[in-house]
Amino acid sequence: MEIAHFNDLLAAARQQPDAQRLLLVFAGASLPADATAEQRARFEAGESGELAPLMCVDKDPADLPDFAALQAEAAAMGPEWVLVFAAALSGQGQRAPEAAQVEAALNRMVEAVQSGNLNGLIPFNRDGEAVQLD
């Protein structure tokens, strides 16, 4: 299944035979103090910037109706974000992953965003569309 929108990820997670947790890291973008004029222009156009994790959460796909619900919850909980990085963590059968597994996986995701090592994470923009990062 191709994941072009966050709702595609939700649908895929719900179809898995094992219980799933969606792991989400919301990131903001900023410019370094020594940014060039070109970097500033690209940043203002929404095309660049340094990503920094702002908040993270895990969700049961069954408890999240769609991207709009996630977006509303994120707006109520935290600072302005530009991308949300998503991954899924499988449990065994109907048993969801243990809390310690979820916490460890979220910590690894936060570190991945901080270091720019984004393999295995799907970034979504504020419209819920999967994006390709350069």
| Domain spans of the chain, in order of start | 6-124
| Predicted TM-score (pTM) above 0.95 | no
Residue 55 in contact with residue 26, Cβ under 8 Å?
yes
Element (H, E) at 23: strand 20-30
Over the chain, what is the mean pLDDT? 91
Question: Which contiguous run of DSSP H or E holds residue 65?
Answer: none
Please tell me the total number of residues recorded for the chain in this structure.
134
Q: Is the pLDDT of residue 48 over 70?
A: no
More confident residue, 134 or 109: 109
Q: Judge whether 7 and 71 are in contact, CB under 8 Å.
A: no
Residue 38 has pLDDT above 90, yes or no: no
> What's the pLDDT score for residue 46?
67
Structure tokens at 123: 């970034």
Q: What is the pLDDT of residues 74-116, one digit of tens each?
A: 999 878 899 999 999 999 999 999 999 999 999 999 999 998 8
